[in-house]
Chains A and B, each alone.
Chain A
Amino acid sequence: MSAAKRPMVARERGDFDRRNADWYIDRLVQGLVFLGGISAILFIIGIFVFIAKEGLGFVIDTLDLTEFFTSKYWEPSDEEAPEYGILALIAGTASVTGLAMVVAIPFSLGAAVYIGEFATGKTRESLKVLVELLAAIPSVVWGFIGLSIMNPLIIELFDVPVGLNVLNAGIILGLMAAPIMTSIAEDALKAVPDRYREAAEAMGATRWQVIYKVVLPAAKNGLLGAVLLGVGRGFGETMAVLMATGHSVNIPTSIFDSVRALTATIAAELGETAVGSDHYSALFTIGIFLFIITFVINLLADLVVRGVRKG
């Protein structure tokens, strides 16, 4: 209302005043778009301030950081001598993520090379849609598959007492990470200029030689970025690993050992702690640690991918 009234006054004031309704709408939209643009940054800062507020005081006052990173005992609910060691949890997350990458890298690179270099027309389009569909499966469904399909299968195949272990969670997580890795890897392959391929083919290279000797080396950084993002996904995944790892504080010595992930520990325990208690703060400290790790991994991935554009 006021936006329509004011330009009348403005027009009477001078000839060069362009503050009519369109001008105000333009400004408003500009403001909204700007807000949308910086909101991501605001949210990131907000989240970091929140977890730092809940965890940082505890880190400074109470927590022994050496114990935190080197003790394998996580017993935060003990009244007399609580133990806050996350070494076993780090080992759990790392082993599951590591195995997930072993599963996901061949799958996703293979899929990316096929989609990007071989498949054409309808096959290519439908494959891309299917890969994206795979990425849309909720993680709790993956966890359910781990719990009810993979678990008995692993017990049967490998003759182990329990099927909820590194192997189970690693495969599940690998399948979960593969779609996003595939689409980023495929983008990296697409970024390689066609003239590279044409030049190689003109020299008499076979299809495989073109891919192996020219396209993959040229797309190296983008592919590395895809893998790093997959690792970041692995570190951050919660529900599926909570259900498929067996949730056991343990430094694994084989892929058939049950483990527990950092994220799963937060998910399983946070709801049951009193706000502000040491246990609550310790969980937030894990949150800070996870935040830093995923931040560094994503930053690395971003830098690596940027590297390809420069070259």
Chain B
Amino acid sequence: MYLRKSMSLMGALLAVIATGAEGRTLIQNKGSDTLVNVAQAWAEAYQSVNPDAAVAVSGGGSGTGIAAMINGTVDIANASRKMKDKEIKMADERGHHPVEHIVGFDALAVFIHQDNPADTLTIEQLAQIYGRDGKARKWSDIGITVPGCKDEIVVVSRQNNSGTYAYFREAVLGKEKYRNGTLDMHGSKDVVDLVEKTPCAIGYSGLAYATEHVKMVCVSKDGQACVSPSVETAGNGAYPIARPLMMYTNGEPQGEIKKYMDWIMSDAGQCIILKKGYAPVRPVQCN
């Protein structure tokens, strides 16, 4: 009796859920922490553009998004690094075929504490600080004295599946690996928070996570004049650690997903990414 009753109740419940979902397509969007704020803004704005589709956004890092794409649990994966050949192969083997869409550009800002007198750092100096073979373990090794800090450099990095982690390594260290003893934070915001509180610290993350409580250094490469990170220098490629931001779809986008991707690449979508502190893929006029 009870069993039959609860069965029929469950049936009714299922019917409600089914009709609720009907007529509205749910797009699962997951990945990069760098992109998560933009992705959320896109999803919210898209509500009014196309009420027939709902976009569910979650972060967790590029690795999370790419893993979800390989495992087939997501419609669009956000990534701040390119998918590795190995990863594309793994996805193919499982019948998912990731297609890359560049949706914007980001400058990877290097943050130091406000009391740190340094204004510019070279890529070579950053490699000395972050690299396994690097020699800079104290601020005095690169000729800097930081008030409130007993000379030790507190090196802040990201967890090893982060796209930011991978891209920073590629741009700064090349083939070299990160040194041991870095504090591996689980999000861009955590990096900025820690640097803000720690006079000895240096960290990196997407430009959009910058706050007025931390200092961004001007970065120079190959002896050229240093370039400060900004939307402009990220977009025109002048800033040495700028990177494309990607969205991966499973195969060429179709139906609702195609409509969504097209809207993201439109002026309306690109104005949103600009407003969030990233460079759009092409110059756009926004009001």
Contact = CB atoms under 8 A, between A and B. Distances in A.
- Contact residues of B: prevailing secondary structure: mixed
Given A76-B160, A268-B159, A273 B183 contact: no
Contacts of B160: 74-77, 269
A297 B184 CA distance: 30
Contacts of B40: none
Nearest to B66: A274
A258 interface: yes
A251 B181 CA distance: 8
Contacts of A274: 66-67, 70-71, 87, 90
A292 B201 CA distance: 38
Contacts of A229: none
B104 interface: no
Interface stretch (A117-125, A129-137, A159-167, A205-213): A159-167
Question: What secondary structure prevails in chain A residues at the interface with B?
Answer: loop
A273 B68 CA distance: 9
Nearest to A249: B180
B253 interface: no
A162 B161 contact: no
B161 A246 contact: no
B84 A249 contact: no
Contacts of A80: 175
Contacts, number: 90
A273 B184 contact: no
Contacts of B183: 162, 164, 246-248, 258
B33 to A, nearest CB: 11
Given A72-B180, A75-B160, A247 B185 contact: yes
B154 interface: yes
Contacts of B63: 77, 272-273
Interface in B218-238: none
B153 to A, nearest CB: 9
A260 interface: yes
Contacts of B132: 73
Contacts of B185: 247
Contact of A260 (B60, B177, B184): B184
B120 interface: no
Interface string B191-214: 000100011110000000000000
A152 to B, nearest CB: 8
Given A248-B182, A249-B184, A77 B161 contact: yes
A277 B159 CA distance: 17
B60 A272 contact: yes
Given A79-B84, A272-B61, A273-B161, A161 B67 contact: no
B180 A73 contact: yes
A247 B184 contact: yes
A161 B198 contact: yes
Contacts of A268: 159, 184, 186
A73 B182 CA distance: 12
A189 interface: no
B183 to A, nearest CB: 5
B152 interface: yes
B149 to A, nearest CB: 6
B150 interface: yes
Interface in A61-86: 72-80, 83
Contact of B180 (A88, A272, A273, A277): A88
A272 B255 CA distance: 28
Interface string A239-253: 000000011111100
Given A75-B160, A274-B90, A248 B181 contact: yes
B4 interface: no
A77 B72 CA distance: 20
A73 B178 CA distance: 9
A275 interface: yes
**What 8 pairs across the A-B complex have the smallest Cβ distances?**
A272-B63, A272-B161, A161-B200, A250-B181, A274-B70, A77-B160, A272-B64, A274-B67
11 contacts: A75-B177, A79-B86, A162-B154, A162-B201, A247-B185, A247-B186, A248-B182, A258-B181, A269-B161, A272-B67, A275-B71
Interface of B: 60-61, 63-64, 66-67, 70-71, 84-87, 90, 132, 149-150, 152, 154, 159-161, 165-166, 175, 177-178, 180-186, 194, 198-201
Interface of A: 72-80, 83, 88, 159, 161-162, 164, 246-251, 257-258, 260, 268-269, 271-277
Given A161-B154, A257-B181, A271-B60, 10 more contacts: A73-B132, A77-B160, A161-B150, A161-B198, A162-B154, A247-B184, A260-B184, A271-B64, A273-B161, A276-B90
